[in-house]
Amino acid sequence: MPELGVNIDHVATIRQARKTYEPDPVAAAVLAELAGADVITVHLREDRRHIQDRDVRVLRETVQVKLNLELSVTPEIVDIACQVKPQQATVVPEKREEVTTEGGLDVVGNFDAVRRTVEQLQAAGIFVSLFLDPDPRQIEAGKKLGCEAVELHTGQYALTSGLAREKELAALVAAGKQIRELGMLLHAGHGLNYQSVIPVARIPEMRELNIGHSIVSRAVLVGLERAVREMKELVR
């Protein structure tokens, strides 16, 4: 069975909308862990739009399951990762203007920059995963860098439907096979929801799925009724 990595970035997105202290992603991590999360995932972005440096430090001390830090090859962020030492780092591409991570990392086109990052993280004892499209050339390049795992980008699969989705799923299955045959661990994530997750979880030897937006979205809805009742009680 794959492990579930719960990405709590968007708990911090709500907090940062008011630049206040709540909701605290650390509290969310504790609850996710109690509910059975195997991994807690956060992305420390260059623009700090959601997760802050302090969150990462406190999460490292609080989270009892694996902490997976998503990061770009930016030296400042890589240095923070090496100081905090999460158990796992997932290297992702990052553009300031994007709403969320768009596409996998271009290892082929940025081989030296990715290599420096992988070497630095591994020297700090961090297990390294690369976020890649299901593209054989990128996976091959990831293997050359000696990374331990590849997280397949499921965004394209999640965005499509019908025959197009079948095609995207077949590409993920083939890439999964290539990753395993090259001796790396298979992870996947991005854009998965309560429907689209099932076929991806069934890909042979899938080890870890990282899911954020759809879990936080559902949490808002399933928790809203209770939150309103509690406030109504106080008002009364």
Q: Which of 10, 50, 70, 153 is catalytic?
A: 70
Distance of CA 182 to the CA centre of its chain: 22
Instruction: Compute the least distance from the CB of residue 228 to ligand PXP, in Å.
Output: 26
Give the nearer residue to ligand PXP in terms of CB position, either 139 or 192.
192
Distance of CA 62 to the CA centre of its chain: 18
Give the nearer residue to ligand PXP in terms of CB position, either 186 or 230.
186
Concerning whether 10 is annotated as a catalytic residue, the answer is: no
Tokens of 221: 């809805």
Instruction: Compute the least distance from the CB of residue 173 to ligand PXP, in Å.
Output: 18
Concerning whether 187 is annotated as a catalytic residue, the answer is: no
Give the nearer residue to ligand PXP in terms of CB position, either 100 or 161.
100
**Interatomic CA distance for residues 209 and 55, integer angstroms:** 22
Instruction: Compute the least distance from the CB of residue 6 to ligand PXP, in Å.
Output: 9
Q: Which of 10, 153, 187, 190 is catalytic?
A: 190
Beta bridge partners of 211: 6
- Measured at CB, which residue is nearest to ligand PXP? 212
Our CA angle for 213, 105, 202, nearest 5°, is 55
Instruction: Compute the least distance from the CB of residue 9 to ligand PXP, in Å.
Output: 6
Concerning whether 43 is annotated as a catalytic residue, the answer is: yes
CB 191 within 8 A of CB 154: yes
Beta bridge partners of 66: 39
Give the nearer residue to ligand PXP in terms of CB position, either 13 or 62.
13
Tokens of 176: 């999964």
DSSP 45: -
Give the nearer residue to ligand PXP in terms of CB position, either 216 or 230.
216
Instruction: Compute the least distance from the CB of residue 236 to ligand PXP, in Å.
Output: 37
Which positions touch ligand PXP (CB under 6 A)? 7, 9, 43, 70, 90, 92, 100-101, 131, 151, 189-192, 210-214
Burial of residue 49, with CB atoms counted within 10 A of its CB: 0-12 exposed, 13-18 middle, 19 or more buried: middle
**Interatomic CA distance for residues 113 and 35, integer angstroms:** 38
Q: Which of 43, 50, 153, 187 is catalytic?
A: 43
**Interatomic CA distance for residues 79 and 180, integer angstroms:** 30
Q: What amino acid positions are annotated as catalytic residues?
A: 43, 70, 190
